[in-house]
Amino acid sequence: MKRVWLCPIRLKSWVIIKKAKVYGLPVGKKKHLDDLNIDDLIFIYVYPPKARVVGLCKIVSKPYFGYDNHWGKSITGSIKYPYRINLEILNNFEKNDITLAKTIGYSNKTGSFTIEPYLKGVLFLELPQLVAQDMLSIISNHSSGITRAAN
């Protein structure tokens, strides 16, 4: 089975990923992309206030240096996040996004699940096979309410 990852990001980055179909990191973090392989899957988790899994992507390229200015420039004037991978958006759950409680089967007394403290500084979290299979099963069971990404 291909590896499945959870990638926590900010909403602004999700907007860029949907438009450009690319994920980028600064040069100092490039080793994180080297752990990923073509055909691996990535669940995109957007931090609060959304706090939801909003999409499923497939990696379609090896890491490379890109010079398009998707994220703007740094304060030094250099391109932000030049180390990149191309993605194919398999599912976009924006109209029917998925809570972490649904995906991992846990919620607290308020019906929410706080994961942000555990994801601080995490760029990619490889999901155990059983969790990945459960998440993919939830996706297929809810496919009627999920918007398929346009090719």
Residue 101 in this model has a pLDDT that exceeds 80: no
pLDDT of residue 109: 61
Encode 15-70 in three state secondary structure. Answer: HHHHHHCEEEECHHHHHHHHCCCCCCEEEEEECCCCCEEEEEEEECCCCEECCCCC
Superfamily of structural domain 4-148: ph1033 like domains (3.10.590.10)
User: To the nearest whole number, what is the mean pLDDT of the chain?
Assistant: 82
Q: Looking at the predicted structure, is the pLDDT value of residue 150 above 50?
A: no
Tell whether the model's pLDDT for residue 47 goes beyond 90.
no
Q: Is the pLDDT of residue 83 over 60?
A: yes
Nearest Cα neighbor of 19 from 71, 95, 80 is 71
The reported pLDDT for the residue numbered 82 is 94
Q: Locate the domains of the chain by residue range.
A: 4-148
Statement: residue 84 has pLDDT above 50: yes
Task: List % helix, strand, coil for the chain (3-state, nearest 5).
Answer: 30, 30, 40
Identify the band that residue 119 occupies on the pLDDT scale cut at 50, 70 and 90. Answer: confident
